[in-house]
């Protein structure tokens, strides 16, 4: 009886051996496939991270452009193009997340690189336009007055009183008005201050 049972187990084991081997082989293949999928997923996540950084950079460039431009110096066409470029970049990123195939990610990266170059060109063009307008509307340079040193080095001092003018001060002290201007470096003779002390060259 025991011999019959042993023979039965032995026969059953031999019969099931091929199926067990096949099952183990299939499990190994599944493990390899899972490892490959994990690696592809890691690569896809890395590329998506790079794409996200590029989109953030484009958004920062667009925000900087908006802050620098004014209502009087804004090029509507270039600004609209920059906005459209950022929107298109966001759309491409969402498409990349939905379709994480390697070839799709590569295509999206190429398109975003192209959009980034076009956006930078638009920003440069707008900046040049703004600089040209600022140059055209810049205020004319103001000449700096020159005060010659050809006045008498000896004289007296005078404290400006209410109602005084440079001409009246010169007459009171027997001096030349131009000498007083040069000695005190007075840019505007009409803006004398009461209480201001002036040096009167050659004054008495």
Q: What share of the chain is helix, strand, coil (3-state, %, to 5)?
A: 70, 5, 25
What would the pLDDT profile of 126-181 be if each residue is shown by its tens digit?
787 787 777 666 555 667 888 999 999 999 999 999 999 999 999 999 999 999 99
User: How far are the Cα atoms of 46, 52, 113, 156, 182 from residue 92, in angstroms, in the given order?
Assistant: 16, 10, 11, 82, 71
Asked whether the predicted pLDDT for residue 16 surpasses 70, the reply is: no
pLDDT at 30: 75
Mean pLDDT of the chain: 76
Architecture of domain 155-201: Roll (3.10)
CB 96 within 8 A of CB 51: yes
CB 170 within 8 A of CB 156: no
pTM over 0.75: no
User: How far are the Cα atoms of 68, 121, 194 from residue 75, in angstroms, in the given order?
Assistant: 12, 14, 52
User: What's the CA gap between 37 and 196, in Å, rounded?
Assistant: 88
C-alpha angle 32/33/36, rounded to 5°?
90
User: What residues does CATH 3.10.350.10 cover in the chain?
Assistant: 155-201
pLDDT at 82: 65
User: What's the CA gap between 81 and 65, in Å, rounded?
Assistant: 12
34 or 180, which is more confident = 180
């Amino acid at each position: 009886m025991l011999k019959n049972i042993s023979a039965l187990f032995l026969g059953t084991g031999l019969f099931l051996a091929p199926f067990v081997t096949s099952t183990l082989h299939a499990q190994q293949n599944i493990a390899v496939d899972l490892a490959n999928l994990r690696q592809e997923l890691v690569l896809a996540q890395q590329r998506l991270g790079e794409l996200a950084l590029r989109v953030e950079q484009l958004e920062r460039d667009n925000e900087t452009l908006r802050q620098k431009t004014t209502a009087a110096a804004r090029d509507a066409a270039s600004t609209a193009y920059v906005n459209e470029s950022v929107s298109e970049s966001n759309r491409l990123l969402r498409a990349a997340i939905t379709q994480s195939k390697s070839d799709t990610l590569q295509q999206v990266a190429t398109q975003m690189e192209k959009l980034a170059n076009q956006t930078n060109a638009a920003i440069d063009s707008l900046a040049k336009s703004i600089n040209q307008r600022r140059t055209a509307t810049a205020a004319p340079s103001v000449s700096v007055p020159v005060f010659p040193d050809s006045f008498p080095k000896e004289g007296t001092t005078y404290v400006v009183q209410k109602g005084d003018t440079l001409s009246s001060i010169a007459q009171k002290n027997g001096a030349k008005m131009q000498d007083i201007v040069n000695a005190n470096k007075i840019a505007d003779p009409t803006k004398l201050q009461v209480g201001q002390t002036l040096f009167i060259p050659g004054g008495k």
